[in-house]
Amino acid sequence: MINLETPRKFRALVTQAQQVAAQYYRPISRKYDRAEHSYPKELDLLAALLDGMNAGSPESTGARTSKRQHDSGDGVRNGSNMSTCLGIMELCWGDVGLLLAMPRQGLGNAAIAAVANDEQLQRFDGLWAAMAITEPDCGSDSAAIRTTAVRDGDDYVLNGEKIFVTSGERAGAVVVWATLDKSLGRAAIKSFVVEHGTRGMQVTRLEKKLGIKASDTAAIRFTDCRVPAANLLGNADIDVAKGFAGVMETFDNTRPMVAAMAIGLAKASLDRARELLEDHCALDYRKPLLQVSHAEAQLYQLEAEWEAARLLTLKAAWMADNRMPNSKEASMAKAKAGRMATEVALKCVELCGLTGYGEDELLEKWARDAKILDIFEGTQQIQLLIVARRLLGKSSKELK
C-alpha cells in the first residue's frame, strides 16, 4: 500500500533539491528568461556538485533513473521513479527551464533507462541525452513518425527531421525515434542514440518560445546520418504482436516527471500568491468557504487541485517502482498536473493584480512557463484519450 508521507530515505534528497532551487535556480531565473538561448554556465558547477553527492547512490534527482533498477526482492519499494519525482517537484519550485537545461539530466536519459539493454545502460552512463520524437507532420500521434532508419551493414542510415527537441543543441546526444519499415506501422518504430558530431546530423534552428527560455529547443535534420547498429536501443526485432509497447515505455517514465515539474511550478505560484496577499487574506482553514473572501476561497480551491495532482503523480511513480503497469496512471497524472499548473499560475497572477502581471514578479514568468507542461510529452487531449482507451479496453484503432 502506498504511504503518502515522503519516504525517510529520500528526505535528505528533498532537502538538497530545495536548497538548489532556492540558492541556485531562483537567483538566476529571470536572468536566463531574458537571455534566451544563452547557456546557464552556473549549471556546470551545480551539475558537478550533484554528481559528487549522488556518486555511489542509485537514487538521484535526474531523469536518467529507471523503474528497472530494482529487479529483485519482494515487498513495497520506493525507488528511483519516486526519488526523481520528489526531487523534480522541489527543483521546479525554483525554475522549470533551468531544470531542463541541467547537464546530463535530459529526457533522452529516461528513454535510455526504459528501453536500453544492460550493455547500453553501461555504455551510455553519464551521457546527456535529449529526446527527439516530434516532426513537422507528426505531433502527438507518435505512431505517425516518418523519419526512417535503414540497415546498412553495421550501421543504420537515418533520414528525416525532428522539431521541438528540448536541449537538442546542448546535449551530448539525441535519442531519435525512427521507423524501420513504414508499412508495418507502430511496430517498426525504434529509438536510436545519435551523438552530436555524427556526420549527417545538423541543428537547423533554435526556437523562440513563450516560456522555459533557459532551455534550448532545437530543430534537427538527419541526412544520410550513419548510426552504429549497437545504438538502437533494446531489441532490433520487429514484433508486430507487441507493436509500439517497448518504445512507449519511455512515456511511462517521463510523464510522471513532467507532472512533477507542473506540481513544483504550481507550488511556487501558490506560495508567492499567499505572500503577496497575506495583508488581504487571513487564511483560516477552519472557516467554511461561505464565510471567507472570494480570494481566500479561490486559493483553497487551487490548493485542493494541486494536492490532487500531486497524489496522482506520486501514485504513478510508486507503481513504476513496484513494477506495476502504470500507463493509465502516468497519463492521468500528466493530464491533471499540466492543466492544474496552467490554471494555478494564471489564477495567481489574476489574484495578485498588476503586481502579479509585472516583470518585477516571477509570477508573470511562471504563468508563461506553465503552458508547455500541458503540451509536451503528449498534449492534454492525447492523455485523456489514452486514459479512455485504458478504462474501456480499446485499442488505438478502435478509439481515436
Q: Which residues are catalytic?
A: 377
DSSP code at position 36 = T
Strand partners, 159: 148
C-alpha cell at 30: 529571470
* CB-based contact 110:63 (threshold 8 Å): yes
Q: Give the C-alpha separation, 25 to 172, whole Å.
A: 22
Rg (CA), the chain: 21
By CB neighbour count within 10 A (0-12 exposed, 13-18 middle, 19+ buried), where does 50 fall?
buried
DSSP codes, 351-399: HTHHHHHSTTSHHHHHHHHHGGGGTTTS-HHHHHHHHHHHHHT--TTT-
Q: Which has the closest alpha carbon to 195: 112, 256, 87?
A: 112
